[in-house]
Amino acid sequence: MNSRDMAIEQLIKISRFYGENPEYVLLGGGNTSWKDEQMMYVKASGYALGSIDRSGFASMSMEALNAVWDKEYSSDEEVREQQVLTDMMDARMPGETARPSVEALLHSFIPSSYVVHLHPALVNGLTCGKRGKAAAEEMFGDSMVWVPSVNPGYILAREARSHALNHQKKTGGFPELILLENHGVFIGADTPEGIKESYTQLMNALKQQAEREPDLSPLAIDSRRQQVLQQGIRRACSDSRRAVVGMMNHELERFLTDREACHPLSSAFTPDHLLYSGHTPLWVSADLFERDDPVSEIEQKVGEYEKREGVFPKSAAVQHTGIFGIGSNARQAESACLVFLDTLKTAVYSESFGGPSFMSQERIDFIRSWEVERYRAKVQENQ
């Protein structure tokens, strides 16, 4: 085995280490890379870290990736993202067929051999907290740089790079932590041990700051209501197999007392939350189940949601009852529910950092119309 092969073995190992731990990684979230001067191996789109092997990494030329920063792209968003996408595909090593993660550019400018990018709920309690930036400065000082929320893709990579380079100029060192507002964290190190050390430090510091942990002890779901909800949803989309997966716990009990209490769960904290459980859940009040024909009432509610939001709901928050993931199959509905649970955790952790702060409407609209995200959604459907 040559040293590059050995490094890739280590990359697979550390990717699985985090990918298998639900405290760090949900579903297909997060990505990792290893690089030397000539090339970078970065997680390809559509692979999950927990089960990744060598085929899940795309090999890219560092020279081609570095050249991206000197290019001028169109000021038109759609044209620009298409141009960058083409450059990313062209930056692959000869013969490479895997599609690099949209975040490959963010990996490429970090001057460390290994980079692990994750979106843990605990970290996002900070990055989605109203006081997140100030709290991060107090906690991590010069070892951290904070990147304000911007549109994902090329713009995010460019912003993150310029913040990191400015930080380096100012402090003399490249930041250990790159915290992305409403998104997650990038950590680089020259060894897998270095990565683990930084992540453990980050998580411990956040645990210490967290005023409370979400109380996820389960509660039973009212099965009659769940059935009514499912029937109404199925009727609304004329799909008798549309899946609905629900969850209830002590923490949710507090958030589901009324619409106002549910506000911290009412929008998307990060692009992944938006992608899996939708930009806003369908809200259903409990009194609806006591009416004469609750199934028709649900059907109507879903119809109104569709008209207002332009899409079918991917999740529902039902007063005093539970949260529900909705999907065209059981797996999709389970994913939507799981990610909705992550929204809950993020909301609770954010209380320790000034309270929840969602992505801006502009960002949400951008992502909803973004080709790359649509592609990812398709890949997930096909998995």
Residues that bind Zn ion (CB under 5 A): 184
Min separation Cβ 202 and Zn ion, Å? 16
Within 10 angstroms of residue 293's Cβ, the number of other Cβ atoms is: 11
- List the strands of the sheet with 315-318, edge to edge: 243-247, 322-327, 315-318, 282-284
Residue closer to Zn ion, measured from CB, 102 or 302: 102
Minimum gap (Å) between residue 117 Cβ and Zn ion = 6
Residues written for the chain: 383
Residue 157 CB, nearest approach to Zn ion (Å): 11
226 vs 277 by CB, closer to Zn ion: 277
Residue with Cβ nearer Zn ion (104 or 323): 104
Closer to Zn ion by Cβ: residue 271 or 313: 271
Nearer to Zn ion by Cβ, of 52 and 333: the residue is 52
Whole-number minimum distance, CB 103 to Zn ion, in Å?
Answer: 5
CA distance 62 to 35: 8
CB of 379 to Zn ion, least distance (A): 15
Q: How far is the CB of 373 from Zn ion (least distance, A)?
A: 12
Which backbone phi and psi does 132 adopt, to 5 degrees? -55, -50
Closer to Zn ion by CB, 68 or 275: give it. Answer: 275
The least distance separating Zn ion from the CB of residue 182, rounded to whole angstroms, comes to 10
The tokens 């085929």 sit on which residue?
Answer: 55
Q: How far apart are CA 74 and CA 18, in angstroms?
A: 37
Phi-psi region of 98 (alpha: psi -120 to 50; beta: other; left: phi over 0): beta
Tell me whether residue 28 or residue 184 sits nearer to Zn ion (CB atom): 184
Token pair, residue 75, equals 């000021």
Measured distance CA(188)–CA(173) in Å, rounded: 13
E strand map for the chain:
31-35, 39-43, 57-61, 114-118, 144-147, 177-180, 184-189, 243-247, 282-284, 315-318, 322-327
Residue placing its CB nearer to Zn ion in the complex, 184 or 188: 184
Give the separation between CA 299 and CA 307, rounded to whole angstroms: 12
Closest distance to Zn ion from the beta carbon of 251 (Å): 25
Cα-based distances in Å from 135 to 119, 127, 178, 265, 355: 18, 10, 14, 22, 12
DSSP string, 108-133: HTS-SSEEEEE--HHHHHHHTBTTHH
Pick the closer one to Zn ion by CB: 118 or 295: 118
Of 16 and 273, which has the nearer Cβ to Zn ion? 273
Residue 84: φ, ψ to 5° = -65, -40
Nearest approach in angstroms of CB 101 to Zn ion is 8
Q: What DSSP line would sit under 60-109, residue for residue? A: EEHHHHHHGGG----SSHHHHHHHHHHHHHHTBPTT--SPBPTTHHHHHT
Read off the DSSP letter of residue 354: T
Residue nearest to Zn ion (CB): 184
What are the backbone angles phi and psi of residue 262, rounded to the nearest 5°? -85, -5
CB of 368 to Zn ion, least distance (A): 17
Q: How far apart are CA 300 and CA 335, in angstroms?
A: 25
